[in-house]
């Protein structure tokens, strides 16, 4: 099959590379000429493990190409994917669909032969109807169907998620379009991947419902962690104890400083707005949005309390600033709330992150950036773990003890067991577990 992928952002690039690896002929189109030139040289603009090998390998065998030329790409394609951004609209939290609609307008006059136009971007219910209306208005004679095919990729494991998904969701009532989509995902049938074929509106809502449910699960366990801290219960065992119930499931029950990233915060907010617009307001998702926003701020106060109520003049070593490991993405990262609040409270911050520092430098002022974890820890009063990068999971505590005069560790990701850190002579505070005193 021939695929045109419009947009070479995170979703477009990963999906394009994976479809070409499935054996399809994929052309990725972007308006940004310098980005396309860089991709043609094999330079990957995002941090995603394994993507460089996948892109370069498929480019070399000629199955994956990059261009700015929409006019020569769309007519050849059996499926045109719209994978442009849908950021939160400034002010109201609605998804900004202007890029999606602009792409539909540009594609329309170029459609040649039967083509499936697929929305891969995360779009609110009803967006596919508008895409169809726009294309029909611009090109009344075009032979096409509009399908929804949401992505469920996690940053840092996006290739694995694409190639070994739990399910593929396709939204279209048109049988011809369903056949094209089945053909595109044919390699997954060998793995017996379930395919949910439904109408477009349902498929669009599945994406938001999935992310909102996961965000709810995280916020729920975070609240349980707060209760644990007040009662002497242990949140890790609570998560295990409920997660072993097959109806609940053990994933996404890891308590932490609040969820971040490019998806959960934006998508939960957009779902709240859609729900309001259609007259079916959602109390649960609204509460999750609020709980998560206030939690991130509260985490700074947790550090201050652990330090005895005052961090002014204290040196804090921060390990990790990205919203999760294996990404350089800083969007809505808890660090963006926590670090400024600690600074306002008079602390000085020296931080290290394996991949996020370049982006973070533009987003957080007044941080002293270190060369590695031990360099950040050097001279610190407090060690604060904000992201669970693998390299922070096995700190050499004797080296830490020599480097930092302070003896306080605050771990907002629960990557250590309290007694093992206390045994090394540190007082250890974490999430949803009793502090361990040195």
Binding site for ligand UGA (CB under 6 A): 122, 151-155, 211, 214, 218, 252-254, 256, 259-261, 263-264, 267, 323-324
* Residue closer to ligand UGA, measured from CB, 67 or 193: 193
* Residue closer to ligand UGA, measured from CB, 59 or 269: 269
Residues 6+ apart with CB under 8 A from 38: 45
Strands of 195-347 (E only): list them: 195-198, 315-319
> How far apart are the C-alpha atoms of 380 and 347, rounded to whole Å?
11
Q: Which helix (H) or strand (E) holds 342?
A: helix 335-344
In DSSP terms, 369 is beta-bridged to 351
Smallest distance from ligand UGA to CB 328, Å: 12
User: Token pair for residue 152?
Assistant: 């469920």
* Residue closer to ligand UGA, measured from CB, 105 or 154: 154
* Residue closer to ligand UGA, measured from CB, 254 or 315: 254
Q: Does 171 appear as a known binding residue?
A: no
Q: Does 331 appear as a known binding residue?
A: yes
Measure CA of the first residue to CA of the last residue in the chain; give whole Å: 63
Smallest distance from ligand UGA to CB 143, Å: 31
> How far apart are the C-alpha atoms of 380 and 364, rounded to whole Å?
19
Q: Does 254 appear as a known binding residue?
A: yes
Smallest distance from ligand UGA to CB 160, Å: 12
Q: Tell me which residue of 251, 167, 109, 72 sits closest to 242, measured CA to CA.
A: 251
* Residue closer to ligand UGA, measured from CB, 135 or 215: 215
Residue 18 falls in the annotated catalytic set: no
Q: Does 256 appear as a known binding residue?
A: yes
Q: Does 35 appear as a known binding residue?
A: yes
Cβ–Cβ < 8 Å for 134, 101 = yes
Q: Does 217 appear as a known binding residue?
A: no
> How far apart are the C-alpha atoms of 12 and 117, rounded to whole Å?
14
Q: Does 402 appear as a known binding residue?
A: no
Q: Does 85 appear as a known binding residue?
A: no
* Residue closer to ligand UGA, measured from CB, 153 or 168: 153
Smallest distance from ligand UGA to CB 256, Å: 4
Q: Which helix (H) or strand (E) holds 136?
A: helix 127-138
* Residue closer to ligand UGA, measured from CB, 154 or 182: 154
Smallest distance from ligand UGA to CB 159, Å: 13
Cα–Cα distances (Å) from 271 to 99, 121, 149, 212, 435, in that order, read 19, 15, 18, 8, 37
Smallest distance from ligand UGA to CB 165, Å: 9
Q: What is the DSSP string of 141-156?
A: T--EEEEE----PPTT
Q: Which helix (H) or strand (E) holds 100?
A: helix 98-107
Q: Does 260 appear as a known binding residue?
A: yes
Burial of 106 (0-12, 13-18, 19+ CB in 10 A): middle
Cβ–Cβ < 8 Å for 319, 386 = yes
Q: How many CA atoms lie within 13 A of 90 on its CB side?
A: 0
Smallest distance from ligand UGA to CB 257, Å: 7
Smallest distance from ligand UGA to CB 152, Å: 4
* Residue closer to ligand UGA, measured from CB, 27 or 262: 262
User: What sign does the dihedral 361-365-370-376 (CA atoms) show?
Assistant: negative
Among 18, 28, 228, 263, the active-site one is 263
User: Token pair for residue 60?
Assistant: 């070399």
Helix, strand, or coil (residue 65)? strand
> How far apart are the C-alpha atoms of 262 and 252, rounded to whole Å?
17
Residues 167-177 as b/e (b if ≥16 CB within 10 A, e otherwise) read: ebbbbbeeeeb
Mind telling me the catalytic residues? 263
Residues annotated as binding site for NAD(+)? 30, 35, 86, 122, 155, 266, 331
Residues annotated as binding site for substrate? 152-155, 207, 252-256, 260, 324
Residues annotated as binding site? 30, 35, 86, 122, 152-155, 207, 252-256, 260, 266, 324, 331
């Amino acid at each position: 099959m021939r695929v045109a992928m419009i947009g070479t952002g995170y979703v477009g690039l990963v999906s394009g590379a994976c479809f070409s690896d499935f054996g399809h002929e994929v052309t990725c189109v972007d308006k940004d000429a310098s980005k396309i030139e860089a991709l043609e040289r094999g330079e990957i603009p995002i941090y995603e493990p394994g993507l460089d090998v996948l892109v370069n390998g498929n480019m070399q065998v000629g199955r994956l190409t990059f261009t700015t030329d929409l006019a020569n790409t769309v007519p050849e394609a059996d499926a045109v994917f719209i994978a442009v951004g849908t950021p939160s609209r400034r002010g109201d939290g609605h998804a900004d669909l202007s890029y999606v609609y602009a792409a539909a307008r540009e594609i329309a006059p170029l459609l040649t032969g039967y083509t499936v136009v697929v929305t891969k971007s995360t779009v609110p219910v009803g967006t596919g109807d508008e895409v169809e209306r726009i294309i029909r208005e611009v090109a009344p004679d075009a032979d096409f169907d509009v399908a929804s095919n949401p992505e469920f990729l996690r940053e840092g494991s996006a290739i694995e998620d694409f190639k070994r998904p739990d399910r593929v969701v396709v939204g279209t009532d048109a049988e011809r379009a369903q056949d094209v989509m089945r053909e595109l995902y044919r390699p997954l049938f060998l793995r017996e991947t379930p395919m949910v074929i439904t109408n477009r509106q349902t498929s669009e809502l599945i994406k938001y419902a999935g992310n909102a449910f996961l965000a709810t699960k995280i916020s729920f366990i975070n609240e349980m962690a707060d209760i644990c801290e007040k009662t002497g219960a242990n949140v890790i065992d609570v998560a295990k104890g409920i997660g072993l119930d097959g109806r609940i499931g053990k994933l996404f029950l890891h308590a932490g400083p609040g969820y971040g990233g490019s998806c959960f915060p934006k998508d939960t907010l957009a779902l709240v707005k859609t729900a309001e617009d259609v007259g079916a307001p959602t109390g649960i998702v609204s509460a999750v949005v609020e709980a998560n926003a206030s939690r991130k701020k509260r985490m700074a106060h947790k550090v201050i309390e652990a330090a005895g109520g005052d961090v002014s003049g204290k040196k804090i070593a921060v390990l990790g600033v990205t919203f999760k490991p294996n990404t350089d993405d800083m969007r809505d990262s808890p660090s963006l709330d926590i670090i400024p609040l600690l600074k306002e409270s008079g602390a000085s911050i020296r931080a290290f992150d394996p991949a996020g520092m370049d982006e973070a430098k533009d987003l957080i002022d007044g941080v002293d950036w270190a060369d590695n974890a031990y360099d950040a820890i050097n001279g610190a009063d407090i060690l604060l773990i904000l992201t669970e990068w693998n390299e922070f999971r096995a700190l050499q505590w004797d080296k830490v003890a020599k480097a930092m005069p302070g003896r306080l560790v605050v771990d907002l990701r629960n990557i250590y067991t309290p007694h093992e850190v206390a045994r090394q002579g540190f007082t250890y505070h974490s999430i949803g577990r009793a502090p361990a005193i040195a």
